Amino acid sequence: MNMADPREPLLSSSVTEGVLGRGVMPGWYPELFASIREHVSAGRRRALVAANAEVVLTYWRVGREILDRQEAEGYGTKVIDRLSADLRTAFPDAKGFSPRNLKYMRAFAAAWPNEEVVQRTVAQLPWRHHVALLDKLDDPMTRLWYASRAQEEGWTRDLMVHHIAVALHLRSGKAITNFALTLPPEASDLAQQLTKDPYLFDFLGGTETKSERDVEAALVAHVEAFLLELGQGFALVGRQVRLSLGGDDFHLDLLFYHLRLRRYVVIELKARPFAAGDLGQLGLYLAAVDDLLRHPDDEATIGLLLCRGKNSVVAEYALRSFAAPVGLADWVDGLTADLPPELSASLPSIEEIEAELANHPQPKERP
């Protein structure tokens, strides 16, 4: 079917000349065209998703057949090589039947023994995601966690690999908060899921001797990496945002707006461990943003206090009676520095990271 480029402007006049001189169109024609174009675009997207799911399911079934036969007969690698050659002869236009990929199919079937789970969640991801999951993760539950998040949030393969490398599953939703006491249940659950502890600002390159302003400036200088660590949905509104209250000026460290939460998020940075008195300053900022910046359609502002360490017991007591919605988490600037033992153990070594980068060709410079 020959379709118009969706980037072309819609016809807008009340009486418009038809395409290729096919006559005069009535005034309602642009609305009809726009509606049908949307149906076609949505159908094409669904077709691509369905086609990908069929490919992944086919690979799973091929892998299941190979795995079952291997378990029953105990054959060697020569069978895989012969099977690869015969499949490529039978389907000369198809790709993906190399001996290496057939072994991935076998590993894929072994990693996901339940076909129902594959159909419901796993099949929605492209095959390259599955190869990465098989290469990077051994634990089935951890693999399912990343597969589910990648599917829900639309992660690219490289973004998923990045989140695996920095052990997102061990940090996600771990901040100490009072959201359950200060927010409605649905908003509380979502806000909690969007937190981390600790936040990993490894792109800063060591900040032990820097002031809070230096850290803040470095975060803004690396805003793309900073937003990546904060997670999807955060939009930077400003740094050192000025608020005038009764003739006195105050400056917020970092102000964000979260698109899914539909509310402002005030982030305060501390280059030292948490002190209970920090909450008073943050509470002042939250009230001011609600009064001065919040739109009537926005939800109440929440705060996130990022410190260089904390006493968790003190933090939980301090937040328990605090009226405004606030989360409290550590931040670190190295992959293994100051991290809990279970988190440090799961992170890759510098040698492993360098090897991973070496396997990806760098983009060529433009002349």
Strands 326-332 and 302-307 come out as: parallel
Of 197, 317, 308, 301, nearest to 254 by C-alpha is 301
Domain boundary among 94, 124, 154: 124
**Measured distance CA(307)–CA(329) in Å, rounded:** 6
Whether 24 maps to a domain, the answer reads: no
**Measured distance CA(31)–CA(10) in Å, rounded:** 9
The better pLDDT of the pair 172, 41 is held by: 172
The better pLDDT of the pair 52, 342 is held by: 52
Q: Which domain holds residue 201?
A: 170-347
Residues 112 and 177 occupy one common structural domain:
no
Mean pLDDT across the stretch 157-181?
93
Mean pLDDT across the stretch 10-15?
42
What is the per-residue pLDDT for 207?
A: 55
**Based on the structure, what is the number of domains in the chain?**
2
Whether 115 maps to a domain, the answer reads: yes
Q: How far is CA 138 from CA 112, 134, 261, in A?
A: 12, 7, 34
The better pLDDT of the pair 199, 358 is held by: 199
Tokens 């039947």 correspond to 97
Residues 120 and 268 occupy one common structural domain:
no
Please state the length of the chain: 367
* Angle CA 219–222–224, to nearest 5: 115
Write a three-state SS string for 301-326: CEEEEEECCCCHHHHHHHHHCCCCCE
Residues 108 and 215 occupy one common structural domain:
no
Of 123, 107, 136, nearest to 50 by C-alpha is 123
Residues 324 and 179 occupy one common structural domain:
yes
Residues 262 and 317 occupy one common structural domain:
yes
Whether 279 maps to a domain, the answer reads: yes
List Cβ neighbours of 167 (8 Å cut-off, separation of 6 or more): 343, 346, 347
Residues 120 and 185 occupy one common structural domain:
no
Whether 66 maps to a domain, the answer reads: yes
- Check whether 208 has a pLDDT greater than 70: no
Residues 90 and 226 occupy one common structural domain:
no
Whether 144 maps to a domain, the answer reads: no
Q: How far is CA 62 from CA 50, 143, 151, 244, in A?
A: 18, 21, 23, 66
List the CATH number of the domain containing 261.
Answer: 3.40.1350.10
Residues 234 and 95 occupy one common structural domain:
no
Mean pLDDT across the stretch 119-145?
92
| Number of CB atoms found within 10 A of residue 171's CB | 22
- The string of pLDDT tens digits covering residues 286-306 is 999 999 999 999 999 999 999
